[in-house]
Structure 1
Amino acid sequence: MKILFKTIRFVLDVLPKKYHLKLSLVAFLLLVNSLLEILGLGAIIPVFSVLLEDNVVEKYGWASWMYNNFGLTDERQLIVTLAIGLLVVIIIKNILSLWILKINSTFSLGLYKDFTLRLHKLYYKTGFSFFKTTNSNLVVRNLRTATNQFANLQVLGSLNLLNEIIVLIFIVVSIALYNLQILAILCLTVIPPFFFFYRWVSLRSVKLGEISNRITPIVGKNMFQSIFGYVDVVITGSEKVFRKRIKKNLDELVEVDIKTNIYNLAPTRIIETSLMLAIAVIVSFGIYYLPSKTELLKLLGLFAVAGYRIMPSINRMMIAINGLNRSRWVFEILSPLEEEGFEEKKIKEIDLAFEKQLKLENISFSYEGNDDPIFKDYSLTIKKGEVVGLIGPSGAGKTTLMNILLGFLKPITGSYFVDDTPLDEAHLKSFYKKVGYVQQQVYLIDGSIAENVAFGCKPKDIDQEKLKEVLDKASLWNMIESLPDGVNEMIGENGTKLSGGQRQRVGIARALYFDAEILFFDEATSSLDSQTEKEITEAINALSDGNLTLIIIAHRTSTLKHCDRIIEVNLAKNATQLQETS
């Protein structure tokens, strides 16, 4: 049961304070549910007593009370009345149990939603470097599988396990008070196989969870690559290679699922066998040592009632324990949320003016784990309205410099000023309202042109006049007018229905739609043919009206011919050196 205590401690550590009261309510309802289970079990005993014994009215006060107060005339009516009463008790118990189950499930699955959002927020708080260095399939696995298993297998599993333990304790105490012989037989026949099975399964469940945790994102990665790389897969004839990889991964996952199902179903068979062994022992004992077959039948009846509830209880306990062991890997994923319950510090957002310049002052930067600096004591000033080009070989630091200017990467030393204000966390939101970013591969959602330009806006909130204006500036309007649905034309996943140049123009229109004052172009034309590159370059040049500040990365000088200044980025021994040309 060590895993249960570890899980409870982790849940209490990582659970936000606002959930503590709800958790107390859920714990109380667990106790109520346990009492209801015992009530339902106890309601069966009077029926057995009336069926198996004679003269129960004379023997038992409760039977005499019912006989007199309900106006009964013979024991047959008493049996029918008890049977109806038992049915009513079971119906009420089950209705209340389902209501409690709904509350518990709502609590646990509400945690799934809450923890997914908190983890998503934490990843965004971690920043640009996290998303650049972490495989997207791992991120998705953490956001979906880890949080789901935490809610269903850890929290809900712990609640169910505690519930079954409480029920089991009540049953054992009740049996001990009623008949120690039945308890002794149960302990001798049920506990040993349960203990050995638990010891055998627990370590294997942990291993299965680790395998599933490792393989799931790999399957996602191979499927993702084979789908989005369809053209290259077909042309290179690597379809079977990808399918073979996927099959290998799925074979491992299927093996894990098969063993998991066996481990979840096996307790029922083991406990059923143990109970049959117990019945054989009771029959053998009763034949020789009990005064009559009626006593034997009564003992068997009571044992059957106890076994009726104990068997599924132990089975659910084993399933819950297996789930706790199998999902133990989520501790590592969710443990960052333990810090102060991940209560986000409120940062007062401050408006940031951009009237004069962007300025890097004596900055140094190197990536984590790399002692060689990319920049060392470097300064750069870009005036408002200026068009600046960055050129140089691959790996020289052009994109790193742009990411520093975008605020995605923070210099290790030195400062970054917007006008005379240091760019810090309080100013970032205001800064990003002034920024537009066009990548080499513009990210497009599976939606309409309008939804991709007004990125993140609800369709009903899109300003149609502004949309037409920015599409015209990006030289897209003539093409859109020829489409059947115009701006509502669906462009396919990642813009598969658009050409490379059209995708870049959508990126430009997106930046303009949000009133960007600073436009960053990260090799926006490097993957285009010469004619399309020329058209996009002219479209970019048309934007340089003195109000927009443009910062452009390019491999070819022809793309930068309209720039006011070109910064050549070259690799040096200690750090990237930058030379400016006009």
Structure 2
Amino acid sequence: MLLTLGASLAEIFSIGAIFPFLAVLTNPDKVYQIPELVFLWNILSIHSSSEILPFVTICFVVASLVSGAMRLLLIYAMTRLAFAAGADISFEIYRRTLFQPYSVHINRNSAEVISGITSHASSVVTQILTPILTITSSLIILLLILVSLLLVDVTVTLTSFLLFLSLYIIVASYYKGKLFRNGKILTKNLTIVQKTLQEGLGGVRDILLNNLQNYFLAIYRDSDSAYRKSAAENYYIGASPRYIMESLGMVALGLFAFYIGRSNESIVSAVPVLGSLAIAAQRVLPILQQGYTGWTNIKAGQENLLLVLDLLNQPIDINSGSAITDPISFEHHIDLKSVNFRYNPDGPFILSDINLRISKGSRVGIIGKTGNGKSTFMDLLMGLFSPTSGTLSVDGQIIDELNVPRWQNMIAHVPQNIYLSDSSIIENIAFGIDKSKIDIERVKQAAEKAKIAEHIESLDEKYDTFVGERGVKLSGGQRQRIGIARALYRNSSVIFLDEATSALDNETEREIIQSIESLDKSITLFIVAHRLSTVEMCDQILELNNGSIRIKK
């Protein structure tokens, strides 16, 4: 606010310096003879009218430079403030999204969230925050400039200002509906573009094999064209009034000069007034245009703002993100009592009346046909889902939304489709840990147990070898073994292997199973598999069939 006031005063100072500058240029003798300025000439040791011009010129130049510098500083401060707020918004959306329950994540499209965190959050900065700051500062500067112009000529100032303001209001009223509709189109199609890119690049193998390039290109072209057409219309609506107003301003100035020329007033004496009004108009019209452009951005960004606010309103536990220093106690049993589960209130039960006790250190095999709930059962054990009814407890302590992070902190999970980031092997094994804090010896031990160390050592860059996006530079079996090494690196008390050896050949699978079997007996293992041979070494074998569990061993 202080910076805005400073910029406003600098603008007034620069405009006010125009009048004496032009007066000295056109009639220096008259200025020199003004009684009120005699003391100033004495202070500056000015003894003739010809000596006034250098002094007034310096004042005019300084005023112009100070005004420009203050406006530049104001723009810099507003931009920094708006984009800092945008960074906070983007981070907060990402934070709230990451801490949402697993059930929320599986029911939403990741492209919508990604576009919300990146594109939509950035658009809030350019369409909402920056325009609000610009309009606020422009309004303050405009009011102070108008006050100074009223001292020059009340009639011309009020007439011109009200004329231009009315024209902007008429244009804004005409276009407001169009801007809002375009804003909806922009928000909708930006998400579709993001989704199409993500799906097209993520499924590039199937696209190449099935010759589907034109299908994805057509979706992208239609959405991108609609997006850019609406963006172009909004830009035109925001920018076009400027040129009309500038032309009308020149016409008004010409008419005013014509009026003075036809009157009895001396044209020479009117030049300072004309010059002051001309320069003031050159300052006022851009400010009006800035305000109008800001309004068009806000109007077009309303739908985008609603989407961002919706993401910011995602509920989140107040303790989310705090360090978990007190893992849940697990010394005896994991118990499931009368557990039922379904994904939604109207859907069928995936798991029905599950009653089970699993002792610490057990090796538990889970088998069953595809679609019988093996992965769902494992997700429930890991606390990713809460039972629809019944309880999951560890050493008698019921797992709920308050203590589930403490339970999950003891767990390592190796899924069927392991996620690998586009980074080095060592960073993927010690996933989520800063590279400078990775225990290299632990990484090597985990790789050895997962039967991947020999392959890594054969690579030119060994553990610093990059695996490519989603591990595309590795075979399916190698990706799985890195996933197993990741689980072993965590030194977790409970390890879940969800079809983790399905991509391995029989010999490698047997070697890894033997390595897993040789792990510390205090570690509890859950192994989901299709083949009974994979889980033969387990203490317990559970068979899932139509949501029920049968203990086979």
TM-score by length of 1: 0.87
1:441 aligns with 2:417: yes
Q: Which amino acid aligns with 2:545?
A: N
1:565 aligns with 2:540: yes
- Residue deviations 1:312-359 (CA, integer Å, cap 9, x gap): 101211221122122222432343587799893587953312222222
Structure 1: distance between partners of 2:118 and 2:79: 17
- Residue deviations 1:178-217 (CA, integer Å, cap 9, x gap): 3122123313541232112212333222222221211112
Cα RMSD, aligned residues only: 2.6
1:543 aligns with 2:516: yes
Contact (CA 8 Å) 2:353, 2:548: kept in 1 or not? no
Contact (CA 8 Å) 2:152, 2:273: kept in 1 or not? no
Q: Which amino acid aligns with 1:220?
A: Q
Q: Which residue of 2 aligns with 1:18?
A: none
After TM superposition, the structure 1 = structure 2 runs for residues 47-126 of structure 1, keeping only pairs within 5 Å, are 47-53=21-27, 55-59=30-34, 61=36, 63-126=37-100
Q: Which residue of 2 aligns with 1:241?
A: 215
Q: Which residue of 1 aligns with 2:140?
A: 166
Q: Offset of 1:237 from its aligned partner?
A: 1.2
Distance 1:409 1:284, change over 3 A: same
SS at match of 1:43: helix
After TM superposition, the structure 1 = structure 2 runs for residues 26-425 of structure 1, keeping only pairs within 5 Å, are 27-53=1-27, 55-59=30-34, 61=36, 63-187=37-161, 189-289=163-263, 291-335=265-309, 344-345=318-319, 349=324, 350-368=326-344, 370-425=346-401
Q: Which residue of 1 aligns with 2:549?
A: 578
Distance 1:476 1:176, change over 3 A: same
| Structure 1: unaligned runs, 5 residues or longer | 1-26
Structure 1: distance between partners of 2:135 and 2:287: 9
Distance 1:503 1:47, change over 3 A: same
Q: Offset of 1:220 from its aligned partner?
A: 1.9
Contact (CA 8 Å) 2:8, 2:145: kept in 1 or not? no
Q: Which moved more, 1:311-320 or 1:254-263?
A: 254-263
Contact (CA 8 Å) 1:504, 1:524: kept in 2 or not? yes
Structure 2: distance between partners of 1:345 and 1:427: 11
Structure 2: distance between partners of 1:174 and 1:342: 52
Contact (CA 8 Å) 1:505, 1:536: kept in 2 or not? no
Structure 1: distance between partners of 2:315 and 2:211: 51
Distance 1:341 1:484, change over 3 A: closer
Q: Which amino acid aligns with 1:241?
A: Y
SS at match of 1:240: helix
Structure 1: distance between partners of 2:53 and 2:498: 85
- Residue deviations 1:476-514 (CA, integer Å, cap 9, x gap): 111112111111111111111111011000000001101
- Residue deviations 1:197-242 (CA, integer Å, cap 9, x gap): 2123332222222212111122122222222322221221112222
Contact (CA 8 Å) 1:495, 1:503: kept in 2 or not? yes
Q: Which residue of 2 aligns with 1:20?
A: none
Q: Which moved more, 1:302-311 or 1:46-55?
A: 46-55
Identity in percent: 26
Q: Which amino acid aligns with 1:580?
A: I
SS at match of 2:538: coil
Contact (CA 8 Å) 1:123, 1:130: kept in 2 or not? no
Contact (CA 8 Å) 2:93, 2:312: kept in 1 or not? no
SS at match of 1:351: coil
Q: Offset of 1:272 from its aligned partner?
A: 0.8
Q: Which residue of 2 aligns with 1:552?
A: 527
Q: Which amino acid aligns with 2:505?
A: T
Structure 1: distance between partners of 2:476 and 2:526: 21
TM-score by length of 2: 0.91
Structure 1: distance between partners of 2:293 and 2:10: 22
- Residue deviations 1:343-395 (CA, integer Å, cap 9, x gap): 93587953312222222222333324535433344333222222223333443
Structure 2: distance between partners of 1:264 and 1:533: 67
Distance 1:339 1:85, change over 3 A: same
Select which of 397, 406, 417 maps to 1:430.
Answer: 406
